[in-house]
Amino acid sequence: MIKPRTPPGVMELLPPDQIAFQRMLDVIRRNYERFGFLPVETPVMELSEVLLTKSGGETERQVYFVQSTGALGKASAEGGAGEGLPELALRFDLTVPLARYVAEHEHELAFPFRRYQMQRVYRGEKNQAGRYREFYQCDIDVIGKDALSVRFDAEIPAVIHAVFSELDIGAFTIQLNNRKLMRGFFEAQGVADDELQALVLREVDKLDKRGEEHVRQTLTGEGFGLAADAVDRIMQFVKFRSATHAQALEALDALARDGANDALAQGVAELREVLDLVRAMGVPESGYALNFSIARGLDYYTGTVYETTLDAYPQLGSICSGGRYDNLASQYTKSKLPGVGISIGLTRLFFQLQKAGLVQAAGSSVQVLVTQMDAAHLPHCLAVASDLRRAGFNTEAVMEPGKLAKQFKYANRAGIRFVVVLGEDEIAKGTVTVKDMLREDQFTIARAELAGALRVELAQAQAQKDARA
Amino acid sequence: MIKPRTPPGVMELLPPDQIAFQRMLDVIRRNYERFGFLPVETPVMELSEVLLTKSGGETERQVYFVQSTGALGKASAEGGAGEGLPELALRFDLTVPLARYVAEHEHELAFPFRRYQMQRVYRGEKNQAGRYREFYQCDIDVIGKDALSVRFDAEIPAVIHAVFSELDIGAFTIQLNNRKLMRGFFEAQGVADDELQALVLREVDKLDKRGEEHVRQTLTGEGFGLAADAVDRIMQFVKFRSATHAQALEALDALARDGANDALAQGVAELREVLDLVRAMGVPESGYALNFSIARGLDYYTGTVYETTLDAYPQLGSICSGGRYDNLASQYTKSKLPGVGISIGLTRLFFQLQKAGLVQAAGSSVQVLVTQMDAAHLPHCLAVASDLRRAGFNTEAVMEPGKLAKQFKYANRAGIRFVVVLGEDEIAKGTVTVKDMLREDQFTIARAELAGALRVELAQAQAQKDARA
């Protein structure tokens, strides 16, 4: 007898949680499609040689390699990424597969190419709570050929806003910054070198943990040796958050006035255009803010960058991030493919939301249970169940007769809202009795009117929910 | 520069095909849910020790093992399935993970446990057309604790019927048989031994390819040495297909009369109950048939077995198969867990349907394109796009102004039905012009009425489609 268990570092859910998870996936997908993004799925296995061209270091060490039983037997020296690595590996994100996909199918795609992809990725992470070795990423990207207007950067916050509004997990703020603006600003403070900028940003990132004084001392201290007034300006810069659209534009104006280089001016112009279009797309002012401390992957993003935080749970960190990059697939094609995109790491987010009590196990995906008191009634029960299914209700029919109390208890535990009862009496009269487990109400109705009545009940529930929202 | 390409044996689709594939997944899922099945997803990686307990031989040789970079470096002798195999492997079906899941969560699940699972599985198949190393399986199973009434076997054809009716890929027949009935019948013909039965069935399976005479000679010949009249009865038995419900019941009656053993009698009784309930669930007579030649996995199924074939394309083989088994998870738990289920191998089916011209690349998932003639109009265009999205339409907004002709051409190629135009004139008057690419029609309408008008157009298209069906 083998103990049934999953490997460490994967998330496996019981049905009530799986239903809640699935609903989140559905909301994300629906909103991605609403903004005109097209579905793409790529194989979980890629050729190691193709997958591992760009990344080195940390990412590569976390890669999972795949070998069939036959390949395991053979010497590991053949095939692979030139270093005796196995021929196949599991994707560790959806960005490299997107780059491969776009480069491979370049002449079959229409640009700007707008795709969404919601699949699992694999990383050999350390085994600790909230870290997953298998997790969903839900990505959108718009890829241009040769060029891609900064206007596309403005669509992304509109998508984020639509997704998280419908996910209904509390107020959130989309925080925007621009890498060119950052680079220009730091240059103006005398921090011109890219690596030094990265080091300064790393220190600044410790503001919340170590406090302002510690960071100030480090930056003015031996290692960095920055002038005190430059550090002051840096501290003020990274602490800035706009509260309104007007305030954001003012801050950009001020930077443009003070600033003295092209990068800064370009970053300001881009952010200004993005902000104005975000507003034109109907995102409310309370939903977005400038935050000059956001950097994201320094070696990857080149323009607009995004992070999204839950207002009441800043400690969860960013729940949706991304940005603008100059060239998606330089390792596969000479074509220049600039793009902009975001990713939601749904597995981790779901874990965090559960821990914070922000997502509850959903009611069942089953809406109606048709009970059965006596085997002789079964054909009637099955006919009623068939009618309900044809009318679009997810319906479970009890297949073995038993005590009603037990069947009610089952519906209750399973979260099924409507329980349909057909006794001798009902069958003789052509009616059914419906118990509404949510309202703790019950009514008897003609069979032919059952689906219509349930539809009204559900519409009322939805209307009440909408009224609350 | 690395050549961007996928490994052999995987299916990757361009967006129009991916949309068609996704719609099939959606139809299957919707129907599985409609019958009260609950979603389950399991990790793609399982512990080798857990995954590879039961299967030997063919399946095991096709398994893909997974190792992180770190594990690759270490000796392969540690961990694994006791033979120095790597610790992790990719699932090769959804049945073993279901067994593991049910055994692991036995005390948290309500029985009968009804689950659906639609995920990819992995097999180191030979590289040839129509054989995939990564492919979707779409499974449902009902699992009982200790016992599961044969009535559940009758629900499965109702699900199959609902799924393939909505998939709309032509007339199909669900073919039913029963392993007990088969065993009883063969015993009555003097073929009592299980292995001998399997060998006879394998010969009988060659009927279509080799012809009746060849099979008859083999079975009466040296190797088998069966009596000529027994072979006659066997040939008649396996060639039988019922054309109506009444004919199916008659055939069962005849078998029960002739038969002289418990297995046959039990098989006949089970099939009879299943057939009657299948009818009670509203499956039309033309949708199912008895077929005594269907065996499926001989060492796995123990009662009802199912295959489904497209009437006009029998050469595609079974497009949905399954059956009843006695005990799901004997390798993980002492609990007896009988079940019944089916699987649709969607990747292969999609490939076959495409080859047969039965599935076309779908229209775009985008329903409306909002064009842009002049950058100055953008805020108006974005506002119209936002309104459409709020009204539930999948809407792409053109973000860079350009020639209208080019934008129309794009919509046409992409399969987007409605193209919205906002020129100076329309903006001044608060109207939009809509071109319907399907009807080659166009109209101008007040902005506020746009969403309503498009909804009417789509409803008409749907009504026409329904009228045709």
Say how far apart CA B156 and CA B243 lie, in whole Å: 20
CB contact under 8 A, B110 and A50: no
Say how far apart CA B340 and CA B324 lie, in whole Å: 4
The answer to whether residue A223 scores a pLDDT higher than 60 is: yes
Chain B closest-CA separation from residue A36 CA (Å): 4
For B295, the token pair is: 């065996």
Return the pLDDT at B56.
Answer: 57
Following CA atoms A191, A194, A200, A204 in sequence, which dihedral angle do they give, to the nearest 10 degrees?
110
Tell whether A113 is covered by a domain. no
- pLDDT tens, B164-179? 999 999 999 999 999 9
Return the pLDDT at A56.
Answer: 57
Q: Domain range holding A424?
A: 368-468
Q: Are residues A279 and A378 in the same domain?
A: no
Using CB atoms within 10 A of its CB, is residue A453 exposed (0-12), middle (13-18) or buried (19+)?
middle
The answer to whether residue B467 scores a pLDDT higher than 90 is: no
Chain A closest-CA separation from residue B197 CA (Å): 30
Other C-beta atoms within 10 Å of A388: how many? 24
Using CB atoms within 10 A of its CB, is residue B31 exposed (0-12), middle (13-18) or buried (19+)?
buried
CB B310 within 8 A of CB B330: no
Among the partner-chain residues A34, A104, A395, the one whose CB lies closest to the CB of B36 is: A395
Q: Which residues, 6+ apart, have CB-to-CB distance to A193 below 8 Å?
A: none
Chain A closest-CA separation from residue B467 CA (Å): 17
Return the pLDDT at B70.
Answer: 74
Other C-beta atoms within 10 Å of B191: how many? 21
Greater pLDDT, B462 or A444 = A444
For A340, the token pair is: 């902009």
Say how far apart CA A88 and CA A51 lie, in whole Å: 9
Residue of B nearest to A366 (CA): B36
Using CB atoms within 10 A of its CB, is residue A327 exposed (0-12), middle (13-18) or buried (19+)?
middle
CB contact under 8 A, B389 and A162: yes
All residues of chain B having their beta carbon less than 8 Å from the beta carbon of residue A133 are: 45
Say how far apart CA A293 and CA A398 lie, in whole Å: 58
Q: Are residues A403 and A276 in the same domain?
A: no
Residue of A nearest to B38 (CA): A15
CB A157 within 8 A of CB A172: no
Chain B closest-CA separation from residue A202 CA (Å): 28
Q: How confident is the model at residue B55 (pLDDT cuts 50, 70, 90)?
A: low
Last-in-domain residue among A21, A56, A90 = A90
Tell whether A138 is covered by a domain. no
Interface of B with A in 272-331 (CB under 8 A): 277, 280-282, 329, 331
In percent, how much of chain A has pLDDT > 70?
Answer: 95
Q: What is the CATH number of the domain that holds B373?
A: 3.40.50.800
Q: How confident is the model at residue A469 (pLDDT cuts 50, 70, 90)?
A: low
CB B28 within 8 A of CB B117: no
Average pLDDT (B331-354) is 97
Average pLDDT (B89-105) is 97
Tell whether B416 is covered by a domain. yes
- Over its C-alpha atoms, chain A yields an Rg (Å, rounded) of 28
For A141, the token pair is: 């990207």
Chain A closest-CA separation from residue B281 CA (Å): 6
Interface of B with A in 100-139 (CB under 8 A): 100-101, 103-105, 108-110, 112, 114-115, 120, 122, 124, 133-134
The answer to whether residue A58 scores a pLDDT higher than 80 is: no
The answer to whether residue A74 scores a pLDDT higher than 80 is: no
Tell whether B396 is covered by a domain. yes
Q: How confident is the model at residue B192 (pLDDT cuts 50, 70, 90)?
A: confident
Return the pLDDT at A57.
Answer: 56
Greater pLDDT, B54 or A121 = A121
Among the partner-chain residues B63, B332, B366, the one whose CB lies closest to the CB of A68 is: B63
Average pLDDT (A70-86) is 57
DSSP A196: H
- pLDDT tens, B23-38? 999 999 999 999 999 9
Say how far apart CA A452 and CA A426 lie, in whole Å: 18
Q: Are residues A176 and A306 in the same domain?
A: yes
Q: How confident is the model at residue A69 (pLDDT cuts 50, 70, 90)?
A: confident
Greater pLDDT, B197 or A176 = A176
The answer to whether residue B146 scores a pLDDT higher than 50 is: yes
Among the partner-chain residues A2, A134, A366, the one whose CB lies closest to the CB of B53 is: A2
Tell whether A323 is covered by a domain. no
Interface of B with A in 156-185 (CB under 8 A): 158, 162
Per the structure, the count of domains in chain B is: 1
Residue ranges of the alpha helices (H) in A64-151?
69-73, 95-104
Tell whether A266 is covered by a domain. yes
CB B68 within 8 A of CB A63: yes
- pLDDT tens, A239-259? 999 999 999 999 999 999 876
Chain A closest-CA separation from residue B128 CA (Å): 17
Return the pLDDT at B74.
Answer: 61
Residue B347 sits at the chain A interface (C-beta within 8 Å):
no
Residue B140 sits at the chain A interface (C-beta within 8 Å):
no
Three-class DSSP category at A36 = coil
Return the pLDDT at A377.
Answer: 94
CB contact under 8 A, A1 and B333: yes
- pLDDT tens, B377-422? 999 999 999 999 999 999 999 999 999 999 999 999 899 999 999 9
Tell whether B84 is covered by a domain. no
CB contact under 8 A, B4 and A101: yes
CB B356 within 8 A of CB B316: yes
Return the pLDDT at A220.
Answer: 93
Average pLDDT (A130-144) is 96
Residue A152 sits at the chain B interface (C-beta within 8 Å):
yes
Return the pLDDT at A79.
Answer: 40
Say how far apart CA B179 and CA B301 lie, in whole Å: 7
Among the partner-chain residues A1, A10, A53, the one whose CB lies closest to the CB of B45 is: A10
Tell whether A355 is covered by a domain. no
Return the pLDDT at B59.
Answer: 61
Return the pLDDT at A59.
Answer: 61
All residues of chain B having their beta carbon less than 8 Å from the beta carbon of residue A53 are: 2
- pLDDT tens, A327-344? 999 999 999 999 999 999
Interface of B with A in 219-258 (CB under 8 A): none
Average pLDDT (B274-303) is 92
The answer to whether residue B99 scores a pLDDT higher than 80 is: yes
All residues of chain A having their beta carbon less than 8 Å from the beta carbon of residue B166 are: none
CB contact under 8 A, B397 and A67: no
Return the pLDDT at A94.
Answer: 97
CB contact under 8 A, B394 and A36: yes
As beta bridge partners, residue A38 has A115
For B392, the token pair is: 């539930």
Residue of A nearest to B5 (CA): A104
Give chain A's mean pLDDT: 92
Average pLDDT (A97-103) is 98
Return the pLDDT at A53.
Answer: 83
Following CA atoms B275, B278, B282, B286 in sequence, which dihedral angle do they give, to the nearest 10 degrees?
-50
CB B368 within 8 A of CB B416: yes
Q: Are residues A199 and A81 in the same domain?
A: no
The answer to whether residue B49 scores a pLDDT higher than 80 is: yes
Lowest mean per-residue pLDDT among A71-75, A208-212, A228-232, B464-468? A71-75
